[in-house]
């Protein structure tokens, strides 16, 4: 038993199913009388739709129905929503232009949905879509967020003059200005945080079915949060009563944030399933995913850091333009504000911080949360400028950080940007990471590389994240449209095995194992007697889903609470069975006993008694063993750590090779270290992908997505990555029962700055001052050439 | 994918006949290029003539001072062939670096060169080794075969039967991958043949090309040093989000140098 409990490297229960092709994904569904949908998408970045003629398509073979924006508008299908209201500098809510599921008179990005064709087969739907004639009148487009606010830039929405969604600020500007006025040194930096395209292994998919007898809709969808999907579709978009809509997110192959959101396609499928009174299925093809999944990042930032003569940080100011894309996706507004500006204190005592964020509309796919969401952008700004400052001040980069770390005894620590950190040991993580990376031996390795004609660099990233989203009262006061607690239900069956229902959703995270380990430890039930169930609004209590590294910290805490209720009830039953007082009953390793005696009854016996209450304290407790709990966290959790990247560059080709990557993370307690390692590895992989390889590029003139397939969008592959050296600093979270902080996003948050700092460290000796992500070999080579030319001229 | 008629002839003659009869017929070999094109509805042939059942197009054999490889030889077969590894190790190596395992197990020599993708690897070996392409109608010299981006000397209905690669004294291929597609951003094939030295470049331009200045330098001194300062002009070279023409031109020199040093 103890071999399977908390802290053990238990092999994932779900892997057998996934690795042998026995998973059940949305696209595996075959409903009786099922039809197939195909979405006709805009080939233009920006155009008026003068006319759509669907006549030929309607009568094409196999066609069941064709719908356009005119149909959905007439049926009063609501706009897709953004669920987080950000108030601007003046207290005004963000501009929220309508986002029709099918474009009505204007298309605003390549891939915008123009028509839905429903047919007997997918091929027939596609054939018919080719017969739809759309008369587009092309309009000028704006792509680059840095140009969206320019006078004369193409305008996307009448509701958002100048393409501005909001102009938001956080922090004390006057205090920042005062600190800059007396600074001994100011470091300035300009950064681009490159647009990323999520690319979950399973593309988005949905199937919808309407039961005319009961008036019940069922939607199967690749969602990270089926209850939120149901809530949004019911309350805001389609008006289907919540109890008449069942949303099922079956096995889902990766999300990384992109499957949090409620998109046009599943909305339209649900709506149309009643119109055509037949089940409809749609699965995105990879090229559709590229143009229609919400993208990530896409910031342009200027930042300045003021220091005293010893490198003590006095103040930080940050000015960012964040790209929202053509429409606001479900949580888009929150990402560059409350998940970004609030993280700019990092691990440091910087007393004054001011951040200004202008979010803008452009003719590109919507941008929303993507693994890390806001926090990678904040870490990138801070850790790049800190290392730039170290270079300018000629202070060792580890030492400069040490001088500015929040002390280990300073918790709770209130930052100047709203968050109150609960715990941490930043100096401890740094020390460990420096040792693991053999930081002290680096200069020798740099010299060895130089002797071979190579440039070697080392870079650090001391990151912090706010995870475990989120204390509902706090996010509510900041504009969130929902609470962010989590639900759990622990249901024993009469024979003693357990079904655990969780509002969290697993789409690769391994909850079926981790949560079972947790229950196994709490209740002393063998792991194989615990079944974790998630993803179906018809069986699982209302839950908020999985994102923001919240599943264990919030969902796991709810499970612990439900287990506590089981134990409390069990004690009363055991007391009756053992003829003792409930106060004298202890519960340990699955056994109730009278303290200090050998009189005991196993949990299984208590459970059986609860379901067969022949000899049972019915006047004190109800029969049955089935407990519900909801957990609303007291605070965010604050995973933090230090990642170190060592890189070698071949100046002849610009190729960077990661020689060593070290990660020391503080996630609090670890339930399954093997799963945590997997999460760290995947996160670092994505972080390295962002730093060196990935880039969603639109042509600035035509607005066409130039990286619309794997021919041009560079996903990181195994041979792009080194073996990772992973270690931990464990500072348990003080405010949740498991002492856990969350590990899903850390790698993606920390790695880009570590890699880019290493690149800048390697290139500094040849005169390269600044290079943007992704630092592809071509960009590195060009930067070296430019520096050479400049040096030659000087 | 649109509907089409499918044929699986047993001989080249039948394949040619099937093509002739079709309104808009197309040969299919490994399908690694053609199938994605069809799936994305970028082409709508009326008929597909599958060459996988034609024995004349298979096989790898040494004939005199040349290795003759059938058009339907898969990349994996070429890279694993003991004959090729012995006679022209650079060619086996080139084949082993095409795409991924799935692509190498399906894609063919004939399909690759008929397609003439500017970033494909085989064209560098064909021109670098001065190979001869045998079709159902004639033989075509390497230098006459590739005509530009996705165009070759092949006529309508002409089928590649095999390619004859002269065995060089030494040769090497150096490929610099496009980071996303892993086709060649720049690939340089250098070879010392009985008839002289050849340097063929793929990926950098619209089609494979030779670098005469490097060939002359290597003829005098077959070493990396001999070419490390020879630059190719940037005019006409490819330029895209993955690399400018300058970068590609520079890589030609670096890869040529590395190939010359690695040749065996
Ligand atoms: C993921 C991926 C990665 C790849 N990476 C690389 C790479 O790194 N380097 C590289 O060089 N290539 C790469 N390729 C392309 C691969 O090598 C293809 O196999 C090749 O380009 C086409 O060969 P095929 O046998 O699949 O031809 P098909 O796709 O079947 O046909 C291609 C064309 O050739 C014609 N054709 C086929 N056989 C003959 C013949 N005998 N006579 C006349 N015409 C013929 C067909 O009509 C068609 O027009 C990659 C492909 C994929 C899908």
Find where tokens 């998109």 sit.
A263
Same-domain check for residues B174 and B242: yes
User: Do B181 and A287 lie within an 8 Å CB cutoff?
Assistant: no
Using one digit for the tens of pLDDT, what is the confidence trace for A662-717? 999 999 999 999 999 999 999 999 999 999 999 999 999 999 999 999 999 999 99
- Residue in A closest to B40 by C-alpha: A287
Span A18-139+204-283 CATH architecture: Alpha-Beta Complex (3.90)
CATH topology of domain A485-631: Aldehyde Oxidoreductase; domain 4 (3.30.365)
Using one digit for the tens of pLDDT, what is the confidence trace for A268-314? 999 999 999 999 999 999 999 999 999 999 999 999 999 999 999 99
Q: Name the residue facing B180 among A713, A777, A782 (closest C-beta).
A: A713
The per-residue pLDDT for A793 is: 85
User: For A41-82, what is the HEC assignment?
Assistant: ECCCCCEEEEEEECHHHHCCCCEEEEEEHHHHHHCCCCCCCC
Same-domain check for residues B223 and B155: yes
What's the mean pLDDT in A192-211? 98
**Band of residue A454 on the pLDDT scale cut at 50, 70, 90:** very high
| Cα separation, A166 vs A169, whole angstroms | 10
User: Do B41 and A777 lie within an 8 Å CB cutoff?
Assistant: no
Tally of structural domains, chain B = 2
Residue A414 pLDDT exceeds 80: yes
Same-domain check for residues B12 and B130: no
Same-domain check for residues B9 and B79: no
The verdict on the CB of residue B79 being under 6 Å from ligand 1 is no
| Cα separation, A375 vs A774, whole angstroms | 18
Among the listed residues A58, A64, A62, A38, the one whose alpha carbon sits nearest the alpha carbon of residue A131: A58
CATH topology of domain A425-468+636-794: Aldehyde Oxidoreductase; domain 4 (3.30.365)
**Cα A34 from chain centroid?**
33
Same-domain check for residues B21 and B114: no
CATH of the domain at B10: 3.30.43.10
- Residue in A closest to B246 by C-alpha: A782
CATH 3.90.1170.50 domain locations along chain A: 18-139+204-283
Q: How far is the CA of B110 from the centre of ligand 1 (A)?
A: 8
Using one digit for the tens of pLDDT, what is the confidence trace for B123-142? 999 999 999 999 999 999 99
User: Do B181 and A782 lie within an 8 Å CB cutoff?
Assistant: no
Q: How far is the CA of B108 from the centre of ligand 1 (A)?
A: 6
Instruction: For residue A695, list chain B residues with Cβ-Cβ distance below 8 A.
Output: 241
User: Do A706 and B243 lie within an 8 Å CB cutoff?
Assistant: no
The verdict on the CB of residue B128 being under 6 Å from ligand 1 is no
Average pLDDT, chain A: 97
CATH topology of domain A151-192+296-405: Aldehyde Oxidoreductase; domain 4 (3.30.365)
Range of the domain at B177: 58-262
| Cα separation, B120 vs B33, whole angstroms | 11
What's the mean pLDDT in A121-134? 98
Using one digit for the tens of pLDDT, what is the confidence trace for A21-63? 999 999 999 999 999 999 999 999 999 999 999 999 999 999 9
CATH 3.30.365.10 domain locations along chain A: 151-192+296-405, 425-468+636-794, 485-631
**In Å, how far are A206, A318, A577, A602 from A581, measured between CA atoms?**
54, 62, 10, 17
Same-domain check for residues B228 and B173: yes
Same-domain check for residues B85 and B108: yes
Residue A1 pLDDT exceeds 50: no
Same-domain check for residues B138 and B190: yes
The per-residue pLDDT for A3 is: 80
What's the mean pLDDT in A82-87? 96
Residue A562 pLDDT exceeds 70: yes
Q: Reduced to 3 states, what is the DSSP secondary structure of residue A688? A: helix
Which structure tokens are listed for A592?
């109730």
Same-domain check for residues B44 and B92: no
Residue A2 pLDDT exceeds 70: no
User: Do B241 and A712 lie within an 8 Å CB cutoff?
Assistant: yes
Same-domain check for residues B37 and B111: no
Residue partners of A695: CB distance under 8 A and separation at least 6 = A194, A195, A196, A707, A713, A714, A773, A774, A776, B241
| Cα separation, A434 vs A660, whole angstroms | 12
A562 CB neighbour count, 10 Å cutoff:
27
Q: How far is the CA of B107 from the centre of ligand 1 (A)?
A: 5
Q: Reduced to 3 states, what is the DSSP secondary structure of residue A481? A: coil
Same-domain check for residues B181 and B254: yes
Interface of A with B (CB under 8 A): 123, 126, 287, 652-654, 693, 695, 697, 706-707, 710-715, 776-778, 781-782, 785
Same-domain check for residues B144 and B192: yes
Using one digit for the tens of pLDDT, what is the confidence trace for B159-196? 999 999 999 999 999 999 999 999 999 999 999 999 99
The verdict on the CB of residue B108 being under 6 Å from ligand 1 is yes
Residue A130 pLDDT exceeds 80: yes
Q: Name the residue facing A653 among B241, B244, B251 (closest C-beta).
A: B251
**Band of residue B114 on the pLDDT scale cut at 50, 70, 90:** very high
Which residue among B53, B72, B87 closes a domain? B53
**Band of residue A792 on the pLDDT scale cut at 50, 70, 90:** confident
Edge-to-edge strand ranges of the sheet holding A280-283:
A63-68, A113-119, A35-41, A280-283, A205-211, A216-221, A245-248
User: For A123-165, what is the HEC assignment?
Assistant: HHHHHHHCCCEEEEEECCCCCCHHHHCCCCCCCCCCCCHHHEE
Residue B206 pLDDT exceeds 60: yes
Residue A118 pLDDT exceeds 60: yes
Using one digit for the tens of pLDDT, what is the confidence trace for B10-54? 999 999 999 999 999 999 999 999 999 999 999 999 999 999 999
Complex prediction ipTM: 0.96
Which residue among B16, B34, B53 closes a domain? B53
């Amino acid at each position: 038993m103890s071999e399977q409990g908390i802290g053990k490297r238990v092999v994932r229960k779900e892997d057998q199913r996934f690795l042998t092709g026995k998973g059940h994904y949305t696209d595996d569904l075959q409903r009786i009388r099922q039809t197939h949908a195909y979405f006709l998408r805009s080939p233009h970045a920006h155009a008026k739709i003068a006319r759509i003629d669907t006549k030929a398509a309607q009568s094409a073979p196999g066609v069941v129905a064709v719908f356009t924006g005119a149909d959905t508008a007439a049926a009063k299908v609501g706009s897709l929503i953004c669920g987080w209201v950000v108030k601007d500098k003046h207290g005004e809510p963000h501009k929220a232009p309508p986002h029709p599921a099918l474009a009505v008179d204007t298309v605003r990005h390549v891939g915008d949905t123009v028509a839905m064709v429903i047919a007997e087969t997918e091929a027939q739907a596609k054939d018919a879509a080719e017969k739809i004639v759309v008369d587009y009148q092309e309009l000028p487009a704006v792509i680059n967020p840095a140009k969206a606010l320019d006078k004369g830039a193409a305008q996307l929405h009448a509701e958002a003059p100048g393409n501005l969604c909001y102009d938001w600020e956080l922090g004390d500007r006057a205090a920042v200005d005062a600190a800059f006025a007396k600074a001994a040194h100011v470091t300035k930096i300009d950064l681009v945080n490159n647009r990323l395209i999520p690319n979950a292994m399973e593309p988005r998919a949905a199937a919808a079915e309407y039961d005319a007898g009961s008036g019940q809709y069922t939607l199967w969808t690749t969602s990270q949060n089926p209850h939120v999907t149901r809530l949004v579709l019911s309350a805001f978009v389609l008006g289907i009563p919540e109890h008449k809509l069942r949303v099922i997110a079956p096995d889902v192959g990766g999300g990384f944030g992109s499957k949090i959101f409620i998109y046009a396609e599943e909305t339209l499928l649900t709506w149309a399933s009643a119109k055509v009174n037949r089940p409809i299925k749609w699965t995105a093809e990879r090229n559709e995913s590229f143009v229609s999944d919400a993208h990530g990042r896409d910031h342009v930032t200027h930042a300045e850091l003021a220091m005293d003569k010893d490198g003590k940080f006095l103040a930080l100011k940050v000015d960012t333009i964040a790209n929202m894309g053509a429409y606001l996706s479900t949580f888009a507004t929150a990402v560059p504000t409350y998940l970004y500006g609030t993280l700019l204190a990092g691990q440091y005592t910087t007393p004054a911080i001011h951040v200004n964020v202008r979010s803008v509309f452009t003719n590109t796919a919507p941008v929303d949360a993507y693994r890390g969401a806001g926090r990678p952008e904040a870490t990138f700004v801070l850790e790049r400028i800190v290392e730039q400052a170290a270079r300018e001040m000629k202070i060792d980069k580890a030492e400069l950080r040490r001088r500015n770390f929040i002390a280990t005894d300073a918790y709770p620590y209130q930052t100047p940007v709203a968050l109150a950190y609960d715990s941490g040991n930043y100096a401890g993580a740094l020390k460990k990471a420096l040792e693991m990376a053999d930081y002290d031996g680096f200069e020798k390795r740099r010299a060895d590389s130089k002797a071979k004609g190579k440039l070697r660099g080392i870079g650090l990233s001391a990151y912090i994240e706010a995870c475990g989203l989120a204390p509902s009262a706090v996010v509510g006061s900041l504009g969130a449209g929902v609470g962010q607690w989590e639900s759990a239900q622990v249901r024993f069956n009469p024979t003693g095995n357990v079904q655990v229902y969780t509002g969290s959703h697993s789409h690769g995270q391994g909850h079926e194992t981790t949560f079972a380990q947790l229950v196994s430890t709490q209740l002393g039930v063998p792991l194989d007697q615990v079944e974790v169930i998630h993803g179906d609004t018809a069986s699982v209590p209302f839950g908020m889903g999985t994102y923001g590294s919240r599943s264990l910290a919030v969902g796991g805490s709810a499970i612990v609470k439900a287990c506590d209720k089981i134990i409390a009830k069990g004690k009363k039953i055991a007391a009756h069975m053992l003829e003792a007082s409930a106060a004298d009953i202890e519960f340990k390793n699955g056994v109730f006993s009278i303290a200090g005696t050998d009189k005991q009854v196993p949990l299984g016996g208590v459970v059986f008694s609860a379901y067969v209450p022949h000899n049972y304290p019915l006047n004190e407790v109800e029969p049955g063993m089935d407990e519900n709990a909801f957990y609303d966290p007291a605070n965010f959790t604050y995973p933090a750590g230090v990642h170190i990247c060592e890189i070698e560059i071949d100046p002849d080709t610009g190729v960077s090779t990661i020689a060593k990557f070290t990660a020391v993370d503080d996630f609090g307690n670890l339930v399954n270290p093997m799963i945590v390692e997997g999460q760290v590895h995947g996160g670092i992989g994505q972080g390295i992908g962002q730093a060196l390889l990935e880039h969603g590029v639109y042509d600035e003139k035509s607005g066409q997505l130039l990286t619309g397939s794997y021919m041009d969008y560079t996903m990181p592959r195994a041979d792009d990555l080194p073996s990772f050296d992973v270690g931990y600093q464990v500072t348990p979270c003080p405010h949740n029962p498991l002492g856990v902080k969350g590990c899903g996003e850390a790698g993606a948050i920390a790695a880009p700055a570590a890699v880019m700092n290493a690149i800048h460290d390697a290139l500094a000796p040849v005169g390269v001052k600044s290079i943007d992500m992704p630092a592809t070999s071509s960009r590195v080579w060009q930067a070296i050439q430019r520096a050479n030319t400049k040096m030659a001229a000087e | 994918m649109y509907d089409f008629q499918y044929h699986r002839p047993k001989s080249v003659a039948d394949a040619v006949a099937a093509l002739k009869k079709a309104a808009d017929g197309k040969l299919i070999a490994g399908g690694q290029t053609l199938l994605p094109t069809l799936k994305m509805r970028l082409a709508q042939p009326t008929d597909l003539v599958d060459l996988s059942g034609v024995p004349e197009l298979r096989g790898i054999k040494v004939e005199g001072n040349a290795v003759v490889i059938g058009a339907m030889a898969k990349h994996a077969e070429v890279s694993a062939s003991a004959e090729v590894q012995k006679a022209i190790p650079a060619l086996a190596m080139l084949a082993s670096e095409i795409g991924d395992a799935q692509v190498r197990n399906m894609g063919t020599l004939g399909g690759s060169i008929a397609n003439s993708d500017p970033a494909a690897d085989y064209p560098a070996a064909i021109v670098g080794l001065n190979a001869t392409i045998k079709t159902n109608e004639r033989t075509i010299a390497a230098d006459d075969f590739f005509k530009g981006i996705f165009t070759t000397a092949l006529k309508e209905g002409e089928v590649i039967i095999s390619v004859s690669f002269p065995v060089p004294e030494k040769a090497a291929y150096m490929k610099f991958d496009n980071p996303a597609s892993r086709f060649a951003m720049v690939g340089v094939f250098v070879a010392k043949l009985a008839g002289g030295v050849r340097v063929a470049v793929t990926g950098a331009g619209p089609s494979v090309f030779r670098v005469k200045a490097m060939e002359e330098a290597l003829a005098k001194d077959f070493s990396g040093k001999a070419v490390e300062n020879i630059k190719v002009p940037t005019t006409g070279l490819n330029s895209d989000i993955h690399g400018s023409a300058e970068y590609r031109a520079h890589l030609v020199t670096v890869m040529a140098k590395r190939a010359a040093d690695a040749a065996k």
